[in-house]
Structure 1
């Protein structure tokens, strides 16, 4: 765990595929995610030993190695030949690497009861070339050899027997094969992986399974399945439509003969009650919906009402496919059945009377709602977001001349669950930290003003902390945006690659998490008499120059424009790097003065 913290800034959460072991695509597990890169590690992988001894490399110990997100690992695991993930064990002397899965596998030094050879077979823990005596495949690592006969074998070949009775195919025995027969698929009928050196096959039923499925077969029957009231049994190689999810992509159903009920293995343990980011309420699994035309609230495609789906008891027209609802990034992986529903969001203000409030950040005085600002050249600054206020609505203190809050900033909740880390966060005003600099764990920008903080002192600026899903932005009015943890997407606004992004699942529209909060209206010293307005891209054939740096401007990206003067500006040239700072910054042991190059209004986001 400590070595991971040197590379990644981790927080506890749940996730799917682990970047340490590459497992977990189909189930949620407890672990840690990096604030900045979005990389996820299972708890067990994160707590792996720093140094181990392994019988496949007895000459030296192996030390754990962690790679940064932007460092692609070019090596493969010496055992399974699969590309190494971000975390693996390594010997720098021999350039020997092994992944976290293979390092946990039992290592046999000898095979004394082989059914294919009468003598003792011993492991050669070296990368040596050999031809397996059973399957005749040339290989280059870790053979089991007979020192008397000078014969070599793969471990799977040496441990295999000529015929087995298999629980998932009880009607006929399976025979060992080392070559795929004609008119037979090249993949395992259960897991779908490609068949390798040795596998088992039933010629009568054209049924094949690889060694992994032979060693770890799925249960043939489930006596008390979560998804059905009767026992269900596995019946491979049957075309069917899953009663739970409505899909027909896996020909290995579990079946209840008396009900004609069929279900995928992955759907058997589906959660009953969940909360997804596409809806405000909890949704509940139903075995079927009312007879009607239903559209999925995530993918907007048809839902077969005769199959299972999630629906909201409070919103009679909202339903979601099972698979859409349980996707990573849509569902947080927490089953809510049996957990009472609570609303953590608390207001940060109380209404005194119409147009007057008392705010938790300024408790001694009353704030008055103003519809318009009389500021002209020098804008008044919001204490929460540190953006100037050129127009209303905003609140101003009835007794203090300089305490101003945008209306939407004043209405931010005092407590909430943040949309990124699913943690309880509390809003802290700037009273006690007026000049202290903060670093937001989401957008990685320095800021001043209001901030959200967790009980573990994780800090988010008020913009990132206020994001909720679905997120609406006027640059993309037709569809909502959702937080995307997959990263490495190009932002439509700035053109940068981003880790934390807001994405449209309909049309592949991506925004870096910092861009939706760009002010839509600013003033700049290069055009003091007019406002500059944010443009969300123009015709790519149009050519523009930035008035400040005099370099060409990409018209497909966002930029600022003065409609009166018909001049354009790069966003960075207009805003600079310090848009979230006040005039004084406390950077102990000195204090710094910030000279703004712009005056701004509030941004156009609508969470």
Structure 2
């Protein structure tokens, strides 16, 4: 390069030489000398600049050749003169355009004491236009401010609208409109606000698990309904090791043995066997050849007859041969439910169980050995006592999963806190939990008095129990955590799989085929891949209603001559025989099949005749 000298008013000590700042290496790489322009205070990235190496003074070629006098639309009445530094003894002034403190090149009107920093005054080639904003944005020097793009406050170079209060980081303004995020299979598109098509449900960022604001910039994949905060994509790309790991579970060897793996097809019984029983009892319950299992037992919850040790429940073929298609699911639930935990007694597990066939009363072998007193780690103040409702109508609301159930329960009398058997078993987990719904990290127990939103179902609970990954703000209530991985529907031969968002390449909306309402695509659901239909977990009878209440129970009431049986759904156009204005269509009720007489649960509870022998 031919040497070119410039005598510049801002550096009168020595002439400035136009020098190359880039050097090409033998391997083709480029070395760039680090230099900051005195005039605009920006890093010099150009191949050449005006330099005084003796004084370590540098100017962009464009800054060195700025006109000494301009007319600016913000001060059209007078010319503005270029100065090398502010005209004040403090060597600092406030720019009349952007309001920021400045100490370097500026254009100034001495008559009006009006001044602009060089960026606001003339460097129009650094002006950009974004689709999200109506006015051009001008590049500014580094400053601390709130960014309208990423929602963060920090110091950085920026672009500012001098007409309205819109200010964004330079790095945000120059971000690509399409990025590849390591945690997702498809490219993500930039949107300057949450697209209107996806505002029906609240969206959460899978990196930080916080809500995606409607009016903030976001990267998204529409077909998968996958939304990531604008800033979270930037962070995860800069530090992939912390936020976008390939590994699913950081465990192996002996540690793996102490981790509870969910979902499970029979989670409640597995947890009861593991955490509520002594080791010798666990062993006996899983070894059919053990001789120390009692053949008959009496239980306080069923004193009429002894419970006889049985080896196998009636199989499904027998059920099918004696019931109609419509009643098979109900019959299966009636035959295979434990009266203590209201969970199925599965013949495939080859476990013993106790039964009173005459009364239709069944108990898991594990449940027959439940301790009378339980010390729950998350509630160390008092012990919990095992209790049951003598009333066959009596329901209680579990304060962990918030479901009404006829199961036995554990109760802390001083605190009046009652927890069903299934939630009590989950509360006894002292190790970490590995769940397919959150493969990045292990989950730990939590119990909070604050309002917590369950990531799985979207419901907000106060004072609930569950499992959490605090780093990801991921919370799942006991009820969702213990959902089985697969289930079935009586009118479909295919398995229903428990699936978790994001749902890849499924742009259509999800509708539950049972309740016919749209399913929130941010929540867990059951899905048949072969038939491509979905269901809310709580709409599936054997997961929702049948896993909370044991139907088929009979009781006598004081205003009817025949026994009444608890059924999951009363017939169409049925009314309560006591409070006759209460319609019971398709709702749980107590029915007299011979008389077509119904009572709602409240009236049945009031009129129930308790058998003294029970």
TM-score by length of 2: 0.35
Question: Which has the larger share of helix?
Answer: 2
Q: Which structure's relative contact order is higher, taking Cα pairs within 8 Å and 6+ residues apart?
A: 2
Q: Select the structure of larger CA radius of gyration.
A: 2
